[in-house]
């Protein structure tokens, strides 16, 4: 049996665009319409209407925290025009969480942008960082007295990679120089937002908040053990896993390290295409590991291996996302157990971990992959919008309650 600390945070995450529905003013919405993606987000899970019921379910599963994101395009549908009724909505979201003793962990940017911001050049222009800061100031002013944990930007490099290298997400550019500019702007936006949020709390005499990004980490390993592959693993590990965190740590702009962990990346440089060097994984079926329905390797040990290396930052860690899409709920139960064990082993090695948040509370819109991947510990019927608690959620609920895992 393993045991987690008494004050450990347990919960599940969502992101606004993936669950709320009808985010008409987001760049993604416009892009879905224009490009005709195979499945558009539409009403998503109608979480915008049903958030209280969803939080009741989280509470009934013994969660004590919940991660969600604010949809910027709702609160600022036009440049410099904030919609107070939408801000009230998110105030009510936070209040509803607090009423259920669910600690809110609030993400300010989770992949989507207001259309006007995207038209102004989005993250490709350093001038636009000020827009983000204005939005952050507004939200922190409205929610600050009830929020301790802020996540400024979700997975900056995942965003850059899909939107500016692969070009499969809006604005669908494929430019390495541009991706570098965007990455730098995201880092700069975080550092400035970090300082701004702390300043707002200080001015209002509120206890200091804890701020981070959500950093996606991958456990890279060479496919064939060749020198080339080992070099590529080294480069990816440095560039993808650590460079961004190093930069923020250098600026002392992290209070904890938010981590999203899903998979291993089996590195194969055959062909030497530039994108191979960046993030591509072996597509030749060499991996023997079990996979989720999107084909991602399931590799719990990777979490341990990465966490013990994160120790050098000397900051607490918060697992902000970890999950599996599957049609087999037993696989989800095993996934959670194995990753919790791996997490616990890292804690035994002295890694300070604040909590574990499963992705996701409910099935949702998995971006360009549509609604097919089922990540939820709660299922969603997209015809009736009915929610069904899965067995894996119940087993996880036991751990949330006791802090123990047999
Ligand atoms: C992460 C994203 C999240 C979700 C999961 C499956 O990269 O942060 O929105 O799509 O993957």
Tell me how far apart the alpha carbons of residues 112 and 240 are, in angstroms, rounded to a whole number.
Answer: 21
- The count of C-alpha atoms lying within 13 angstroms of the C-alpha of 354, restricted to the half-sphere facing its C-beta, is 20
Q: Is the CB of 375 under 6 A from ligand 1?
A: yes
Closest-CA residue to 257 (of 348, 148, 354, 360): 354
Task: Supply the pTM of this predicted model.
Answer: 0.97
Cα of 360 vs centre of ligand 1, distance in Å, is 9
Q: Is the CB of 155 under 6 A from ligand 1?
A: yes
Q: And the tokens for 305?
A: 């291996």
To test the ligand 1 pocket, which listed residue (213, 259, 366) has its Cβ within 8 A of the most ligand atoms? 366
Which atom of ligand 1 lies closest to the CA of 155?
Answer: 8
Which atom of ligand 1 lies closest to the CA of 18?
Answer: 9
To test the ligand 1 pocket, which listed residue (155, 212, 291, 322) has its Cβ within 8 A of the most ligand atoms? 155
Q: Are 15 and 69 in contact (CB under 8 A)?
A: yes
Tell me how far apart the alpha carbons of residues 125 and 129 are, in angstroms, rounded to a whole number.
Answer: 8
- Does domain 2-405 sit in CATH 3.20.20.80? yes
Residue 206 confidence (pLDDT): 98
Q: Is the CB of 260 under 6 A from ligand 1?
A: yes
Residue 272 confidence (pLDDT): 64
Cα of 226 vs centre of ligand 1, distance in Å, is 31
Which atom of ligand 1 lies closest to the CA of 214?
Answer: 8
Give the model confidence (pLDDT) of 55-67 as tens digits: 999 999 999 999 9
Q: What ranges do the domains of the chain cover?
A: 2-405
Which region among 33-42, 200-209, 357-366 has the lowest average model confidence (pLDDT)?
A: 33-42
Q: Is the CB of 158 under 6 A from ligand 1?
A: yes
Q: Is the CB of 159 under 6 A from ligand 1?
A: no
Chain position carrying tokens 């992959």: 369
Q: Are 264 and 300 in contact (CB under 8 A)?
A: no
Cα of 206 vs centre of ligand 1, distance in Å, is 31
Residue 263: pLDDT above 90? yes
Q: Is the CB of 13 under 6 A from ligand 1?
A: no
Cα of 367 vs centre of ligand 1, distance in Å, is 8
Tell me how far apart the alpha carbons of residues 123 and 117 are, in angstroms, rounded to a whole number.
Answer: 8
**Main-chain dihedrals φ then ψ at residue 297, nearest 5 degrees:** -60, 140
Q: And the tokens for 48?
A: 């915008």
49 sits in which H/E element: helix 47-60
Residue 175: pLDDT above 70? yes
Residue 275 confidence (pLDDT): 60
Q: Is the CB of 259 under 6 A from ligand 1?
A: no
Please, which pLDDT band fits residue 191 given cuts at 50, 70 and 90? very high
Please, which pLDDT band fits residue 283 given cuts at 50, 70 and 90? confident
Residue 170: pLDDT above 90? yes
Q: Is the CB of 187 under 6 A from ligand 1?
A: no
To test the ligand 1 pocket, which listed residue (321, 332, 357, 377) has its Cβ within 8 A of the most ligand atoms? 321
Here the contacts of 99-102 (C-beta below 8 Å, separation 24 or greater) are 100/55, 100/56, 100/58, 100/59, 101/59, 101/64, 102/11, 102/55, 102/58, 102/59, 102/63, 102/64, 102/65, 102/66
Q: And the tokens for 373?
A: 């991947």
Q: Which residues touch 51 (CB under 8 Å, ≥6 apart)?
A: 93, 96
Q: Are 298 and 332 in contact (CB under 8 A)?
A: no
Q: Is the CB of 154 under 6 A from ligand 1?
A: yes
294 sits in which H/E element: none
Residue 282 confidence (pLDDT): 82
Residue 38 confidence (pLDDT): 85
To test the ligand 1 pocket, which listed residue (151, 216, 260, 377) has its Cβ within 8 A of the most ligand atoms? 260
């Amino acid at each position: 049996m393993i045991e987690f600390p008494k004050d450990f945070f347990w919960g599940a995450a969502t992101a606004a665009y993936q669950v709320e529905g009808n985010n008409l003013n987001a760049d993604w919405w416009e892009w879905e319409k224009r490009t005709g993606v195979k499945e558009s987000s539409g009403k998503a899970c109608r979480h915008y209407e049903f958030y209280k019921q969803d939080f009741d379910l989280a509470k009934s599963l013994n969660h004590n925290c919940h991660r969600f994101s604010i949809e910027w395009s709702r609160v600022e549908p036009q440049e410099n025009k904030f919609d107070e009724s939408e801000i009230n909505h998110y105030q009510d979201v936070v209040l509803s969480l607090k009423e259920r003793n669910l600690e809110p962990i609030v993400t300010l940017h989770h992949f989507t942008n207001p259309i006007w911001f995207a038209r102004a050049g989005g993250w490709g222009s350093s001038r636009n960082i000020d827009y983000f800061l204005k939005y952050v100031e507004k939200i922190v002013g409205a929610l600050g007295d009830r929020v301790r944990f802020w996540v400024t930007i979700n997975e900056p490099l995942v965003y850059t990679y899909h939107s500016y290298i692969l070009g499969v997400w809006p604005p669908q550019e494929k430019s390495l120089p541009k991706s570098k500019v965007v990455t730098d702007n995201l880092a700069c936006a975080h550092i400035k937002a970090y300082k701004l949020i702390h300043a707002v709390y200080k001015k209002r005499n509120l206890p200091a908040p804890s701020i981070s990004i959500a950093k996606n980490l991958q456990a890279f390993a060479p496919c064939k053990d060749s020198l080339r592959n080992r070099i590529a693993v080294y480069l990816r590990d440095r560039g993808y896993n650590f460079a961004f965190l190093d930069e923020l740590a250098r600026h002392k702009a992290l209070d904890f390290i938010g981590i999203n962990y899903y998979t291993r990346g089996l590195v194969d440089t055959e062909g030497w295409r530039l994108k191979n060097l960046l993030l591509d994984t072996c597509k030749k079926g060499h991996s023997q590991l079990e996979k989720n329905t999107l084909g991602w390797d399931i590799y719990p040990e990777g979490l341990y291996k990465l966490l013990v290396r994160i120790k050098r930052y000397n900051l607490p860690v918060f697992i902000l996302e970890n999950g599996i899409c599957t049609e087999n709920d037993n696989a989800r139960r095993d996934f959670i157990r194995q990753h919790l064990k791996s997490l616990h082993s890292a804690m035994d090695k002295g890694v300070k971990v604040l909590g574990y948040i499963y992705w996701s509370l409910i099935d949702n819109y998995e971006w360009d992959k549509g609604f097919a991947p089922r990540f939820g510990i709660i299922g969603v019927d997209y015809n009736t919008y009915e929610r069904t608690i899965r067995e894996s959620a119940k087993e996880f609920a036991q751990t949330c309650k006791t802090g123990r895992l047999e």
